[in-house]
Amino acid sequence: MRHGRSRTRQTPVTLVSVGIPTFNRATKLRRAAESVLQQSHRDLELVISDNASSDDTEAVCRELCAADARVRYLRSPVNRGPTANFNTLYEAIGGEFAMMLSDDDWLEATYVERCLAGLLADPSRRLVAGRARYLDSEGAARLGAAVDFESADPGGRVLDYLRHNDKDSLFYGLTRRDTLRAAAPMRNILGADWLLVAGILVQGTAATVESTEIIRELGGTSANVAKVAATLGLPGAQARAPHLVIAWELFAAILWRGAAFRELRTRKRAALAARAALSVLDWRSDAWHLTAPTAAALGRRRGGAPLWRAYLRLTARLGATHAEVPDEPTS
């Protein structure tokens, strides 16, 4: 697939590459890009991959290129989906170290410098991220967990990560380019970010730098499983049992698909595949995803609201969080 580029000259290899995949987010993209260009670590390149945006994204990117020679702009003639856009960046980056940034997030000015220092401080480290600060639609903030996965056992690191609640905290961390490419490309599946990080962790340790932050807006593409599946163009049925789908994808990636796992001996890889799949299963959550749309549909019928409320009470007692209510009845 050919991409339009803003410059005919060849971009020199730089120490750190930051990739931003984008689609129709011109206003927020500028904020994300400027947070990269204002980093205290100056030896970097910013590569923006535009998934055929129809808003002012192209104009914004060309303005950024004209203002700063460190910006490279790639534009696809057609929208190939977000997974392909990430994979384009994994191939395009030229720095020895690399990270991705969502087009609606932004970095504190010290983020690259301090994450890079964290990587260089320990040869066994393959991934370092700052703390994530999550903002909701009203601007309220929640600080993400500071996670470290430093076991000497590759399988132990992967399992510890998969059992951790805040799994997206490392996806936008800094890693070595070669490490990232060994874990890539991402497959167009639910939980693709989990699999990518797992593929990095099997190669080495990961740590959080608590003195710098990435600011992340809640409510985007990953707001709920149904929205993720729709954005990826996946069958809607996958959103009805997401953890079961992710468990299978993990099993397959570790046992035979994922190149990063092939350094493990076959027996150890098979054991890790089974344990990893079991670690992400959440029967309560999948039961909720499976039954909630039907219960909501019944609740929208005349006189059905009491049935819906009873369903919510029952599932709450069983441990469902009700984080994703499908077309909730209003009466």
Give pLDDT tens digits for 166-220: 777 899 999 999 999 999 999 999 999 999 999 999 999 999 999 999 999 886 5
Based on the domain organization, do 97 and 171 belong to the same domain? no
Distinct helix (H) and strand (E) counts, the chain:
12, 10
| CATH number where 58 lies | 3.90.550.10
- Is position 327 within any domain? no
Give 236's DSSP letter.
G
Is residue 50 a contact partner of residue 57, using CB atoms and an 8 Å limit?
A: yes
Is the pLDDT reported for residue 108 higher than 80? yes
Based on the domain organization, do 147 and 216 belong to the same domain? yes
Is residue 264 a contact partner of residue 155, using CB atoms and an 8 Å limit?
A: yes
- Is position 179 within any domain? yes
Of 218, 238, 244, 245, the residue nearest 323 (C-alpha): 218
Question: Which token pair is 291?
Answer: 């039954």
Number of domains the chain contains? 3
pLDDT at 328: 36
Q: Can you tell me the distance from the alpha carbon of 272 to that of 70, in angstroms, rounded to the nearest whole number?
A: 41
Output the pTM of the full model: 0.85
Based on the domain organization, do 52 and 145 belong to the same domain? no
Based on the domain organization, do 5 and 96 belong to the same domain? yes
pLDDT at 36: 98
Based on the domain organization, do 17 and 87 belong to the same domain? yes
For residues 276-285, average pLDDT: 88
Length of the chain: 331
Based on the domain organization, do 74 and 123 belong to the same domain? no
pLDDT at 224: 74
- Is position 31 within any domain? yes
φ, ψ of residue 16 to 5 degrees: the values are -125, 130
Beta strands in the chain (DSSP E): 4-5, 16-22, 44-50, 71-75, 97-100, 106-107, 125-135, 141-143, 174-176, 205-217
Based on the domain organization, do 59 and 117 belong to the same domain? no
Based on the domain organization, do 118 and 15 belong to the same domain? no
- Is position 266 within any domain? no
Based on the domain organization, do 98 and 125 belong to the same domain? no
Based on the domain organization, do 112 and 209 belong to the same domain? yes
Q: Which domain holds residue 168?
A: 108-220
For residues 62-68, average pLDDT: 98
Based on the domain organization, do 14 and 57 belong to the same domain? yes
- Is position 150 within any domain? yes
Is the pLDDT reported for residue 11 higher than 60? no
pLDDT single digits (tens) 126-161 = 999 999 999 987 778 899 989 999 999 999 999 999
